Structure 1
Amino acid sequence: MPQVISRDGTSIAYEQVGSGPVVVLVGGGLDDGAENRPLAQELAEDFTAVNYARRGRAGSSDVQPYALEREIEDLAALIGATGGSAHLFGASSGGALALEEAAAGLPIGKIAVFDVPYAIGDTAVQTWQAYGRQLRAALARGERGEALKLFMRLAGASEQDIAGAEGSPMWPQLLKLAHTLAYDAACLGEGPPPATRLSTIEQPVLVATGVGVDPHMAGLPGGFFGPAADAIAGCLPYAERRTLDVREHTVNAKVLAPVLTEFFRA
């Protein structure tokens, strides 16, 4: 995989397919770049799709200390290496990062986000902030497995689901990514959408969700992502709010690609 060097010396690994305007895909929690690979292939029919491993994941390195600003610098370096400007798509916490990158003034065209898990309401904010404290404590103790379990509980997984995941062949790979859960938490901040920063985004933004909660996240309150998306759209000067006929948190690439293609080409 080609790599680009970020400002602090971190090497960011990426894949590039297709031709045309550049679209960078920003992964979410526990994604090492594999999740967006099918979407990159679908978008490659109309765009240069750039799918990258965020710092600390897969082939990307991880110069410390971490700060959200370093991830913004990572994308700046990636955009500079792949054409000088780009549209963005971010899923889940990657959507929050994409919005932060746009607010930072990077050379970005349009932005599309899906299921950004900002916390709406006092109970959700308190739950999120408690998770953040527990996550930082677990990682400080080196308890990566506990960090993963905290995240899964937050995402609505049952104890049975967690036990199944812990016994699966994927668990060792997830353990390698567990420290990056703190990075995703930083992208989401204190919980609610950062209204002041989002209000400075001048580009058109597609804010999308599905029609309900993913069955694998059944422990979440009903309609969890919808109020967050409504709040995001309410902060943005130029927002298009859409509800897709899907329930999955990780949307099938063949379903999502036409929606993104229509938005980015308009």
Structure 2
Amino acid sequence: MYGHSSGAILAIEAAAAGLPITRLAVYEPPYTADPEHPTPADDLGLQAALDAGDPAAAAALFLRITGMDDAAVGYITSAPFWPGLVHLAPTLPHELALTGDGVPPRERLAAITAPTLALAGGRSPAWAARAAQAVASSVADGRVLTVPGQDHDVDQAVLAPLLADFFRGR
């Protein structure tokens, strides 16, 4: 099974619940908690922005929650795909609910027996590498792979051969 971002958390939870998963690969599950600067995501006003009818503000806030700086948020909000992200803003509270407090659930991860590959992009924010390391060190058979030159929007042409090797048992 493979999952990316919040899909990675869903894959992790499925494996931890005992589904018959023989190999698990996850790319940047958004466990974004910074042990040096904890900020509960639910205190940041995302739901309030949605309740106020401002999905663009909610989407921009979500980007900041994931660790993007103002320059990156400015770039994304002016990109052609921005309206699509704004359209998805009502789903963002669900994304945050998946991550809970942003801390990897080490006890549930310990229940995973399938070989697990936790990937993070070499150009991703620091939380991505922390999350990959936490996942890999918490499962019985885990390893970390940093994908050079990639960020959260990983190039599928770069990722596919890495996943193929892992799922083939290499």
Q: TM-score range by the shorter chain?
A: 0.7 to 0.9
Q: Which residue of the other structure, out of 142, 145, 167, is the alignment partner of 1:242?
A: 145
**Rounded Cα–Cα distance in structure 1 between residues aligned with 2:140 and 2:134:** 12
**Rounded Cα–Cα distance in structure 1 between residues aligned with 2:40 and 2:97:** 15
The structure with higher relative contact order (CA 8 Å, sep 6+) is 2
How does 1:2-151 map onto structure 2 within 5 Å? Answer: 88-118=1-31, 119-123=33-37, 125-126=38-39, 128-131=41-44, 134-151=45-62
Deviates more, 1:114-123 or 1:160-169: 160-169
The one-character-per-residue Cα deviations of 1:8-47 (angstroms, maximum 9, x if unpaired) are xxxxxxxxxxxxxxxxxxxxxxxxxxxxxxxxxxxxxxxx
> How far 1:143 moved relative to its partner?
2.2
The one-letter code of the counterpart of 1:177 is L
2:85 corresponds to 1:174: yes
**Rounded Cα–Cα distance in structure 1 between residues aligned with 2:75 and 2:40:** 24
The one-character-per-residue Cα deviations of 1:105-147 (angstroms, maximum 9, x if unpaired) are 2232211011223124041x3254533xx11222233321111
Question: TM-score, normalised to structure 2's length?
Answer: 0.84
Identity rate, percent: 38
SS at 1:109 equivalent:
coil
Corresponding position of 1:43: none
Corresponding position of 1:252: 155
Q: Which runs of 5 or more structure 1 residues have no equivalent in the other structure?
A: 1-87, 214-219
SS at 2:53 equivalent:
coil
Name the structure with the higher helix share.
2
> How far 1:254 moved relative to its partner?
1.9
Name the structure with the higher strand share.
1
How does 1:166-245 map onto structure 2 within 5 Å? Answer: 166-213=77-124, 220=125, 223-245=126-148
2:168 corresponds to 1:265: yes
Q: Residues 27 and 118 of structure 2 are in contact (CA less than 8 Å); yes or no, is this contact kept in structure 1?
A: yes
> How far 1:194 moved relative to its partner?
0.8
**Are the structure 2 counterparts of residues 212 and 108 from structure 1 closer, same or farther at C-alpha, using a change threshold of 3 Å?**
same
Corresponding position of 1:78: none
**Rounded Cα–Cα distance in structure 1 between residues aligned with 2:142 and 2:75:** 40
Question: TM-score, normalised to structure 1's length?
Answer: 0.57
> How far 1:263 moved relative to its partner?
0.8
Large movers: runs of 4+ above 6 Å: none
Considering only CA atoms, is the larger Rg found in Structure 1 or Structure 2?
Answer: 1
Q: Which runs of 5 or more structure 2 residues have no equivalent in the other structure?
A: none
> How far 1:157 moved relative to its partner?
3.7
Q: Residues 40 and 101 of structure 2 are in contact (CA less than 8 Å); yes or no, is this contact kept in structure 1?
A: no
**Are the structure 2 counterparts of residues 156 and 120 from structure 1 closer, same or farther at C-alpha, using a change threshold of 3 Å?**
closer
RMSD (CA atoms): 2.2
**Are the structure 2 counterparts of residues 209 and 165 from structure 1 closer, same or farther at C-alpha, using a change threshold of 3 Å?**
closer
